[in-house]
């Protein structure tokens, strides 16, 4: 399993836990795509991702903590990442399916809808 991919995902979540918007966005490719399970919208590009993350960080008020639970190297080259979020009264687990560009940056995240 690609240790570089896992390290990039861990850096993404570590920066999220610190509400460090610049470090989160530094993990993303310029043409990044995000497809959350919560809605049908697809967020395109690093700048749009930054705006969405900024709103989320403000909403969480430094109370959100992500924990990576496991990784699963997929046959299509993506990395499955099961994570847990605790934010105040909210506690949930989900999977992200993450693709990477040739430079090792996260090019897309698709959240499992189950």
Identify the pLDDT of residue 29: 97
> What DSSP assignment string belongs to 67-101?
EEEEEEE-TTS-EEEEEEEEETTEEEEEEEEEEE-
Query: What's the CA gap between 108 and 19, in Å, rounded?
Result: 20
Query: What's the CA gap between 108 and 110, in Å, rounded?
Result: 7
Provide the pLDDT confidence category of residue 62 given band limits of 50, 70 and 90: confident
Higher pLDDT, 104 or 75: 104
For the segment 45-72, the average pLDDT, to the nearest whole number, is: 90
Collapse the DSSP code of 109 into the 3-class scheme (helix H, G, I; strand E, B; otherwise coil) and give the result.
Answer: strand
């Amino acid at each position: 399993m690609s240790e570089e991919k896992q390290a990039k995902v861990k850096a993404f979540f570590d920066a999220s836990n610190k509400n460090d918007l610049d470090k989160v966005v530094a993990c993303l490719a310029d043409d990044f795509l995000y497809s959350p399970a919560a809605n049908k919208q697809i967020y395109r590009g690093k700048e749009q991702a930054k705006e969405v993350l900024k709103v989320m960080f403000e909403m969480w008020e430094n109370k959100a903590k992500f924990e990576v639970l496991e990784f699963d190297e997929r046959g299509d080259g993506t990395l499955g990442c099961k994570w847990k979020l605790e934010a105040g009264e909210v506690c949930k687990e989900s999977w992200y399916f993450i693709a990477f560009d040739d430079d090792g940056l996260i090019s897309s995240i698709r959240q499992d809808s189950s």
